[in-house]
Amino acid sequence: MVETDELFIRDDPIFVNKELLEINHLPEEGRIVGRDEEIKLLANAVNPAIFGQSPSNILIYGKTGTGKSLCAKHVSQRLVDAAMGEGVTAAFAYVDCAQDTTETQAVQTIASSFNRPERTEINVPDKGISTATYYKRLWRILDACYDVVLIILDEIDKLADDAILMQLSRAGEAGKLTDCKIGVVGISNKIRYKDRMDERVKSSLCEREFVFPPYDASQLGEIMEARRDAFREGVLDGGVIPRAAALAAREHGDARKAIDILRYAGEIAQSTGAERVQEGFVTDARKRAETDRFRELIRGSTPHSRYVLHALTILSLNDSGADGFRTTAIYDVYEEICRQEGTETLSLRRVRDLLKEHAFLDIIEQSRHSGGSAEGSYTKHRLLEDSTVVRDVLVDGQ
């Protein structure tokens, strides 16, 4: 029998503080790199709150992994601390609207996160009460506990409708529903999101807008350098961070991707028994990061939604230079896939809808083209993800 001591490794040879590289790790101030200006501007917009006055409502745009959520949370926390110093009670709530897509879910999350049951004696159940009741309890909680609050609505574009925004903007109008001052911080990576908003909500909730630019390779390098101490001293080869930064910068400067690549490179070293994290591991690490992110994106999608995507992937792999493929071309390949799977096909209209859903998730991009008077106009679809990554996830489940 193997002795326990031989079976388990007691000291991780690669990592000493791996949490620093976990997705949800919120770095402390000293580790937030290259966002001083944005942090200052955000702080300025919410500044009145430290005196118990209404903060400006804010909308933050920027591509994924550009530090929007991080800076919004950081500034909110700093604001709460500063307000306390002025004798003002403040708090912030964070809502991930991709999880809480309905008005009821979002108001429930907000109310329960602000609630201090020992003080309010109010119960905010997970479900079972009406949306209107959640609101009433929320206003009572705010009145009982706070002078001012910030509500961060991350991925605000995923909300099913504007109903909660309407309520929050009404509540913000001096003392109508609650005496507590409310500031809303909306975050989105869809720059056109605002066009969809109701005019009244738009004018109230978009008082200040900020666009977070992508990080360049040197900023990504600094972000990773600031977490070098996740690794045991001396195990990280000199070329790893610059290489990971260069790759992540090429794909729209996503800090999350950069950190994922670094973590995976370490895990590859671990699993292959290498003593050092070598630059050569970065390429595989990037592929793993892509694959993981994509698998997460399509998790829970239906078989036909996957077949449709698979059809577009096959076309893209066969003709990588094409600027997109028409719906009918995708449908032909989709029919073939269904035949192989031994399942009935959906109608062309349904397939068009499924393609639209993929476009909504930014997996594909759609463009309208005019075929001249004989043909009328038509849509082309282009895969935004690396087609080999999509194929691996769809076919091999890798």
Ligand X SMILES: Nc1ncnc2c1ncn2[C@@H]1O[C@H](COP(=O)(O)OP(=O)(O)OP(=O)(O)O)[C@@H](O)[C@H]1O
Write out the residues near ligand X by the rule CB under 6 A: 25, 27, 31-35, 62, 64-70, 189, 223, 255-256, 259
CB of residue 122 vs ligand X: minimum separation in angstroms? Answer: 31
Contacts of 173 (CB under 8 A, 6+ apart): 204
CB of residue 243 vs ligand X: minimum separation in angstroms? Answer: 18
Parallel/antiparallel/unpaired status of strands 148-154 and 377-383: unpaired
CB of residue 73 vs ligand X: minimum separation in angstroms? Answer: 8
Q: Which is nearer to ligand X, 66 or 305 (CB)?
A: 66
Q: Which is nearer to ligand X, 49 or 223 (CB)?
A: 223
Contacts of 214 (CB under 8 A, 6+ apart): 62, 63, 66, 249, 252, 253, 254
- Strands of the chain (E only): list them: 58-62, 90-96, 148-154, 181-188, 208-212, 325-326, 364-370, 377-383
Burial class (CB in 10 A: 0-12, 13-18, 19+), 225: middle
CB of residue 187 vs ligand X: minimum separation in angstroms? Answer: 6
CB of residue 297 vs ligand X: minimum separation in angstroms? Answer: 11
Q: Which residue is nearest to ligand X (CB)?
A: 67
Confirm if 76 and 26 have CB atoms less than 8 A apart: no
* Bridge partners for 377 per DSSP: 370
CB of residue 295 vs ligand X: minimum separation in angstroms? Answer: 16
Q: Which is nearer to ligand X, 33 or 95 (CB)?
A: 33
Which parts are annotated binding residues?
Answer: 66-70, 215, 227
CB of residue 66 vs ligand X: minimum separation in angstroms? Answer: 4
Of 171, 192, 194, nearest in space to 183 by CA:
171
Confirm if 54 and 61 have CB atoms less than 8 A apart: no
* Bridge partners for 209 per DSSP: 59
Q: Which is nearer to ligand X, 96 or 207 (CB)?
A: 96
Report the C-alpha gap between 60 and 383 in whole angstroms. 27
Which parts are annotated binding residues for ATP?
Answer: 66-70, 215, 227
Q: Indicate the length of the chain as a whole number.
A: 398
Contacts of 217 (CB under 8 A, 6+ apart): 242, 245, 246, 248, 249
Q: Which is nearer to ligand X, 55 or 62 (CB)?
A: 62
Record the tokens describing residue 136, joined without a space.
């009433």
DSSP string, 193-252: GGGGS-HHHHHHH-SEEEEEPPP-HHHHHHHHHTTGGGBPTT-B-TTHHHHHHHHHHHTT
Q: Which is nearer to ligand X, 40 or 369 (CB)?
A: 40
3-state secondary structure at position 372 = helix
CB of residue 71 vs ligand X: minimum separation in angstroms? Answer: 7
Contacts of 340 (CB under 8 A, 6+ apart): none
Q: Which is nearer to ligand X, 64 or 102 (CB)?
A: 64
CB of residue 212 vs ligand X: minimum separation in angstroms? Answer: 6
Q: Which is nearer to ligand X, 255 or 312 (CB)?
A: 255
Q: Which is nearer to ligand X, 62 or 186 (CB)?
A: 62
Radius of gyration over every alpha carbon of the chain, rounded to an integer in angstroms: 24
Contacts of 33 (CB under 8 A, 6+ apart): 219, 222, 223, 226
Whose tokens are 């005196």? That residue is: 51
